[in-house]
Homo-oligomer: A and B are copies of this chain.
């Protein structure tokens, strides 16, 4: 596996997705200009564009056209960004920093941050309904909504919050991770497959890869929060334990968590067997998410 090959690919995706997001986001100015400023502030905060890369890689693997995969790639990033904005709010995780700079509500106030999140979520669906995606709109919107909504990401955030302070159990942390993080990562790959008109079984397999990748990612995130400093993370570290959050380290300890993150990555990679070498960048990604230190 080559981390250089992956790094080069992610740089290229980031350039391409950022340019597409620039075109999709409304222009600043007018009586609601502050809203647009806040949307742009958070979208262009230096994210790694991991989820868009998953959409594009799935589409490439299924022989899809780039121009049909780019809008869903942007849509998942818009959903991811909205979720970070709302998560950081004082009523939620109360984080003043995100990616090393003030979180949206610290920069623009809580009300604008709430509305900016709402507007980004709405824009995500709009992007899937407009040319060139209109032919796929129904399946794309349904897949994104399932990953992002009450049965996916938002449900996971609710459980993450409600279960804080409760006894950490394997069942509980599994529910939280599979909903909060894995659902949207799975949806990212499904969207790429759908945009490429891939057979349903292919989309399902890639979706399972994405969900396992998401689990590997979130377990690693939990471990990093327990180990790293805030400077390394670009956000407040050690908060999970402080807030009584149910995390992998809280249930299994740090060493076993790291081991299980690796096991999820291996299971994810196993799903890719039928695709052969063209899936190598996805394999690199699975290795990367458990090896990262931020």
Q: Out of B123, B154, B175, which one reaches A150, CB within 8 Å?
A: B123
Contact A31–B154 (Cβ < 8 Å)? no
Point out the residues of chain B lying under 8 angstroms from A121, CB to CB: 118, 121-122
Contact A32–B137 (Cβ < 8 Å)? no
Considering the chains assembled together, what is the distance between the CA atoms of A179 and B30 in angstroms?
12
Considering the chains assembled together, what is the distance between the CA atoms of A156 and B86 in angstroms?
20
Considering the chains assembled together, what is the distance between the CA atoms of A148 and B156 in angstroms?
25
Interface class of chain A by DSSP: helix
> Given the interface contacts A31-B175, A86-B118, A114-B114, does A126 sit within 8 Å of B154 by beta carbon?
no
> Given the interface contacts A125-B125, A141-B141, A158-B35, does A86 sit within 8 Å of B112 by beta carbon?
no
Considering the chains assembled together, what is the distance between the CA atoms of A111 and B92 in angstroms?
5
Considering the chains assembled together, what is the distance between the CA atoms of A93 and B187 in angstroms?
34
Point out the residues of chain B lying under 8 angstroms from A130, CB to CB: 138, 142
Contact B163–A31 (Cβ < 8 Å)? yes
Contact A31–B176 (Cβ < 8 Å)? yes
Interface presence of A162 (CB below 8 A): yes
**Interface size class for chain A?**
35 or more
Interface presence of A89 (CB below 8 A): yes
Residue of B nearest to A125 (CB): B125
Point out the residues of chain B lying under 8 angstroms from A112, CB to CB: 158, 161-162
Point out the residues of chain B lying under 8 angstroms from A148, CB to CB: 122
Contact B111–A154 (Cβ < 8 Å)? no
How many monomers of this protein are in the complex? Answer: 2
> What is the distance, in angstroms, from A149's C-beta to the closest C-beta of chain B?
4
Interface presence of A255 (CB below 8 A): no
Enumerate A106-160 residues with CB–CB distance to B below 8 Å. 109-112, 114-115, 117-119, 121-123, 125-126, 128-130, 133-135, 137-142, 145-146, 148-151, 154-159
> What is the distance, in angstroms, from A266's C-beta to the closest C-beta of chain B?
27
Interface presence of A8 (CB below 8 A): no
> What is the distance, in angstroms, from A138's C-beta to the closest C-beta of chain B?
4
Point out the residues of chain B lying under 8 angstroms from A134, CB to CB: 138-139, 142
The 6 listed contacts between A and B (C-beta, < 8 Å) are A32-B150, A32-B158, A34-B158, A115-B161, A123-B150, A130-B138
